[in-house]
Amino acid sequence: MLHVLIGDDDFSIRETLEEIKATIGDAAALLTNTTVLDGRRVSIEQLKNAAETVPFLADKRLVIVEGLLSRFESNGRAGRKKPKKTVAEGEWRVFSNVVKQLPEFTELVIIDGRINNRNPLLAELVKITQVRSFPRLKESQLKQWINRRVDKSGGTIAPPAVNALVRFVGNDLWLMFNEVAKLVLYAEGRRIEEDDVKAVVSNAQDASVFTLVDAIVESRTRIAQELLQNLLRQGAAPTQLLAMISRQVRIVFQIKELRSLKKTRGEIQTRLGLTSDFVLRKAWEQADKYTPSRLKEVYHRLLETDIAIKTGKYEGDLALDVLIAELGQKQTARS
């Protein structure tokens, strides 16, 4: 069976992936029957072999491919190079044929970010499965999400407290999930009020992540490692930190790109769906400091680190340490 999950809301995509896993079978058996592939680099043979490998002592096999659709995105902006025709027009057809011939025992999940409707591989996949899209939540949707999450956690929350959460945290659901959990514990059974949000939720972790991003991009290895360890000691999960760092680098790059197109601050905030003025201000400042090539390099290494964690190559905290060290070494060698 084929599942296609795309969009900017990575938190909801990951939740949906866990739901898919739960329907496949025993979690222990799934551990030995799961393959995660980097779609930006995977070959047709690698995908085919992964999909056709018979599950070991289980009924189903799970294959997760991240970034495959992005590989066939074309950029029609003036001055930008389009993908070579041999790649864009040749490979996507073969990949499509492999996906259409999945064995019954394989559950294939294709995950990606925001994808253009003109994407040729996506156009083929739409014909054979339901593509589930997860756009970034608008403010009204985010408030509903907060209420549902608080209720699911066994708590209640006042409307002014919901509004304050939206102001302080914005639509980063990874961070919002953690803040809601902290607030439910802090309230100890009573309704969460606006003062609780002011007392518990702050921009402290966001500010630390911004500082960490600065240190990573600037290859200040020792400082970056110290900041990382501090955040880990505060209870931040490695995967959450990686998601927050990746999101921040992506936002900075997008702001830089949109500013080059003469977009106003208000237009950029609306385009990126940034409800937090704090996040916008910090990202705007960082966009002045770094070149697009450096941001791209860091972002690609973040994606590689994500794959390394999900494939079990490294534990989360070790993977982040390796990331910081390697980026520092590359920058030093370049200098």
Domain boundaries for CATH 1.20.272.10 within the chain: 204-334
308 close to 301: Cβ distance less than 8 angstroms: no
Domain boundaries for CATH 3.40.50.300 within the chain: 2-133
228 close to 212: Cβ distance less than 8 angstroms: yes
> Which residue carries 């390697």 as its tokens?
326
Model pLDDT, residue 205: 58
Model pLDDT, residue 159: 95
Model pLDDT, residue 64: 92
136 close to 8: Cβ distance less than 8 angstroms: yes
Q: Is 109 helix (H, G, I), strand (E, B) or coil?
A: strand
Spatial separation of the C-alpha atoms in residues 91 and 80, rounded to whole Å: 21
Better-scored residue on pLDDT, 78 or 333: 333
Close Cβ partners of 60 (under 8 Å, ≥ 6 residues apart): 24, 25, 30, 33, 105, 106, 107
- Measured in degrees and rounded to the nearest 5, phi and psi for residue 5 equal -120, 115
> Which residue carries 């999101």 as its tokens?
247
> If one looks up domain 204-334 in CATH, what number appears?
1.20.272.10
Q: Which of 303, 299, 280 is nearest to 290 (CA)?
A: 299
Domain boundaries for CATH 1.10.8.60 within the chain: 139-200
Model pLDDT, residue 185: 92
Q: How confident is the model at residue 241 (pLDDT cuts 50, 70, 90)?
A: confident
For the chain, what is the mean pLDDT?
Answer: 83
Close Cβ partners of 125 (under 8 Å, ≥ 6 residues apart): 2, 4, 96, 99, 110, 131
pLDDT at 315 over 50: yes
Average pLDDT over residues 109-125: 89
Q: How confident is the model at residue 242 (pLDDT cuts 50, 70, 90)?
A: confident
Spatial separation of the C-alpha atoms in residues 98 and 100, rounded to whole Å: 5
Element (H, E) at 36: strand 34-38
Which residue type is seen at 97? N
Fold of domain 2-133: Rossmann fold (3.40.50)
Name the percent of the chain lying above pLDDT 70.
90
Q: How confident is the model at residue 149 (pLDDT cuts 50, 70, 90)?
A: very high
> Which residue carries 């060290």 as its tokens?
325
Give the tens place of pLDDT for each residue, 258-280: 988 988 888 888 888 877 666 78
Q: 81-90, 229-238, 248-257: which has the minimum mean pLDDT?
A: 81-90
Spatial separation of the C-alpha atoms in residues 168 and 10, rounded to whole Å: 20
Q: How confident is the model at residue 150 (pLDDT cuts 50, 70, 90)?
A: very high
170 close to 279: Cβ distance less than 8 angstroms: yes
Does the global pTM surpass 0.85? no
**Domain 139-200 grouped into CATH 3.40.1230.10:** no
- Measured in degrees and rounded to the nearest 5, phi and psi for residue 110 equal -100, 120
Task: Tell me the pairing of strands 34-38 and 131-133.
Answer: unpaired
Model pLDDT, residue 77: 38
Q: Which of 101, 133, 134, 119 is nearest to 39 (CA)?
A: 119
Give the tens place of pLDDT for each residue, 66-112: 888 988 887 543 333 444 444 445 788 888 888 888 888 889 999 99
Give the tens place of pLDDT for each residue, 173-227: 887 888 899 899 999 889 999 889 877 875 555 656 777 887 888 778 888 888 7
Spatial separation of the C-alpha atoms in residues 256 and 250, rounded to whole Å: 10
Model pLDDT, residue 203: 53
Better-scored residue on pLDDT, 274 or 20: 20
Q: Is 93 exposed, middle or buried, given 0-12, 13-18 or 19+ CB atoms closer than 10 A?
A: exposed
Spatial separation of the C-alpha atoms in residues 84 and 81, rounded to whole Å: 9
